[in-house]
Each structure stands twice: as structure tokens, then as C-alpha cells.
């Protein structure tokens, strides 16, 4: 079995792990971690496709590789936004639970307003 195919199968397992974690963990931070695993799996498939398209003297197809760089940077921005959201929820309520059954504590001061 060729190296790109092996990494492709690795990517499939990564997506599986990530999907399981996303569904099973109640903590939002664990969900972000799992989501990053899914993302890495997708990126890895993309890199495998790039590697298989190697020709014209390049080690891989540069178009999907360039898209990967964009994707990694955007994934970081998305994770940063998700983390900011959960930290704000923690500051407001002292909890990071996503469950609707956990009633949020009232905000410390009404002037703070909704984010």
C-alpha cells in the first residue's frame, strides 16, 4: 500500500475519532478539540489528494496545498472565536455547560448586557 493511501486511511480514522468526541463530550472545549481532529482529518485527505497529483516536477499539486494553508489559518480563527464564546459564558455564569437544563445564573449587573 502506498504512503498517500496509508495517510488517507489515517485521515479517515481521525475524522471518526473527532466525530465520536464531538458527540460524546459535554464540555464545549472538548468539542472544539474534537472538531479540530475532524478538521485535521479533512486537511489530511486534501494533502493526500495533492500528493497523488504530483507532476510537472512538483512534490504535490500546489493548488490544494495552498488551500490547506488557508484552511489551517481559518480553523485557528474559528477556534479562537469558539474559545472566546465559552470563556465569556464562563465569566457570566460560572459554568461552561451547553445543557439547557443547567439554568444560567443571573448576570452580575444588568448594565453588562448581552454579548
Q: Which of positions 11-30 make contact with other proteins (CB under 8 A)?
A: 11-21, 23-27, 29-30
- Give the distance, in angstroms, between the CA of residue 74 and the centroid of all CA atoms in the same chain: 10
Residue 35 engages other proteins in binding (rule: CB under 8 A): no
Among the listed residues 35, 90, 100, 106, the single contact to other proteins using CB under 8 A: 90
CA-based end-to-end distance of the chain: 52
Q: How far is the CB of 62 from other proteins (least distance, A)?
A: 4
Among the listed residues 73, 103, 104, 105, the single contact to other proteins using CB under 8 A: 73
Q: At what angle do helices 62-93 and 28-52 cross, to 10 degrees?
A: 180
Spatial distance between the Cα atoms of 83 and 96, rounded to a whole number of angstroms: 11
Residue 102 engages other proteins in binding (rule: CB under 8 A): yes
Amino acid at each position: 500500500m502506498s504512503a498517500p493511501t496509508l495517510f488517507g486511511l489515517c485521515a479517515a480514522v481521525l475524522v471518526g475519532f473527532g466525530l465520536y468526541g464531538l458527540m460524546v463530550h459535554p464540555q464545549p472545549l472538548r468539542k472544539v478539540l474534537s472538531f479540530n481532529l475532524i478538521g485535521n482529518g479533512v486537511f489530511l485527505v486534501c494533502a493526500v489528494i495533492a500528493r497523488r497529483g504530483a507532476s510537472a516536477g512538483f512534490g504535490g499539486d500546489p493548488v490544494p496545498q495552498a488551500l490547506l494553508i488557508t484552511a489551517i489559518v481559518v480553523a485557528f480563527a474559528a477556534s479562537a472565536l469558539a474559545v472566546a464564546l465559552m470563556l465569556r459564558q464562563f465569566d457570566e455564569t460560572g459554568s461552561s455547560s451547553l445543557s439547557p437544563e443547567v439554568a444560567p445564573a443571573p448576570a452580575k449587573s444588568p448594565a453588562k448586557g448581552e454579548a
